[in-house]
Amino acid sequence: MSEYLPKEVREGLERAHKLAQKKKSRLRVRVGEESFAILRSWDSGFAMDAEAAPNLRGLVDLYDGGKHLYQALIVASSQEGHEVVFEFKRSTMANDRPPVDFERRSDEPVALLPKQ
């Protein structure tokens, strides 16, 4: 059906589709102080708008709204239509608390009270 539409109408539909994807997506890539919208994501990478995506490479942070999800090492792998596809070389989940150097067990008491 899209073959029968005039070129201007097809381009307008593509722009509207990209804008809707940007508004719908809460996922963002952060590099330093700059932030860019992610159009879609999967386990081994993500895709961004080719016009808005700078030449990203290296260590980035991925956010879902205000929640820090991952710190990842990325590389641009291909361009598919109006999207640039990035792949993770490595991704590490972000923790909201520091790691501990002991095993936490739920069956041990938290504190002992002295007998009186």
Q: Does position 73 have pLDDT exceeding 90, yes or no?
A: yes
Q: Can you give the pLDDT at residue 19?
A: 67
Taking the model in full, what pTM does it have?
Answer: 0.63
Least confident window among 18-27, 28-37, 58-67: 18-27
Rounded mean pLDDT of the chain? 81
- Beta-ladder partners of 42: 45
Cα distances (angstroms) measured from residue 50 to each of 36, 46, 82, 90, 101: 11, 12, 5, 22, 44
Compute the average pLDDT of residues 46-65: 85
pLDDT digits (tens, 9 = 90+) for 94-115: 877 777 777 777 776 667 777 7
Residues 6+ apart with CB under 8 A from 61: 29, 30, 31, 68, 70, 71, 72, 94
Distance CA 67, CA 6 (A): 42
Q: Does position 26 have pLDDT exceeding 60, yes or no?
A: yes
